[in-house]
């Protein structure tokens, strides 16, 4: 299981197109940093920084071979990342099924309750510049609207 800090580093590393491309390339075969730099319209130093971010996230490894630094995929870390994403996918699939149950009225008996009040539609507005959030993001509880 990944710690919160490891998960943050993983998603931050994969949030960039160039870094995802580097991972894809080194999954196919190990490449030197110089070879990787030849694929991008950026400086060698910029590619080195991208590789360093991937290395901090444990997605790639770097080994010196003579004068070159070879970059390879860290398969164990990539498998852990895959398992993490699988868990998120399962979570969201269950949520979608729950929403479908609510919409079709086929909620299991233990979840349906005539005693529950209907939701206050005004508290489910989507936040926007004209309609800022009326909920505390940390708790989800409603907050009083400020008058302008």
d(CA 61, CA 50): 12
Per the CB < 8 A criterion, the answer to whether 25 and 31 are in contact is yes
In the chain, the domains with their CATH numbers are: 4-74 (1.10.10.10)
Per-residue pLDDT band for 120 (boundaries 50, 70, 90) equals very low
pLDDT score at 143: 53
What is the rounded distance in angstroms from the CA atom of residue 40 to the CA atom of residue 110?
Answer: 57
Contact 122, 145 (CB under 8 A): no
Q: Residue 109: which pLDDT band, with cuts at 50, 70 and 90?
A: low
- What is the pLDDT of the chain when averaged over all its residues? 80
pLDDT tens per residue across span 60-98: 999 999 999 999 999 999 999 999 999 999 999 999 999
- pLDDT, residue 110, reads 53
Quick one: pLDDT at residue 129? 40
pLDDT at position 123: 37
In this prediction, what percent of the chain has a pLDDT beyond 70? Answer: 72
Q: For 26-61, what is each residue's pLDDT tens digit?
A: 999 999 999 999 999 999 999 999 999 999 999 999
Q: Is the pTM of this model over 0.75?
A: no
**Most confident of the ranges 10-19, 79-88, 123-132, 136-145:** 10-19
Number of H helices and E strands in the chain, helices first, is 5, 3
What 3-state class would DSSP assign to 144?
Answer: coil
Which among 28, 21, 78 has a CA at the least distance from the CA of 51?
Answer: 21
């Amino acid at each position: 299981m990944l710690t919160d800090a490891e998960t943050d580093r993983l998603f931050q590393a994969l949030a960039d197109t160039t870094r995802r491309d580097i991972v894809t390339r080194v999954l196919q075969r190990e490449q030197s940093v110089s070879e990787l730099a030849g694929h991008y319209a950026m400086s060698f130093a910029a590619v080195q920084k991208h590789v360093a971010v991937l290395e901090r996230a444990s997605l790639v490894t770097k080994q010196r071979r003579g004068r070159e630094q070879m970059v390879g995929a860290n398969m164990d870390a990539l498998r852990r990342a895959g398992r993490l994403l699988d868990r998120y996918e399962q979570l969201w699939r269950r949520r979608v099924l729950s929403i479908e149950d609510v919409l079709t009225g086929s909620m299991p008996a233990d979840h349906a309750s005539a005693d529950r009040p209907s939701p206050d539609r005004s508290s489910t507005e989507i936040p926007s510049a004209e309609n800022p959030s009326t909920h505390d993001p940390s708790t989800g509880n409603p907050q009083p609207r400020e008058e302008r």
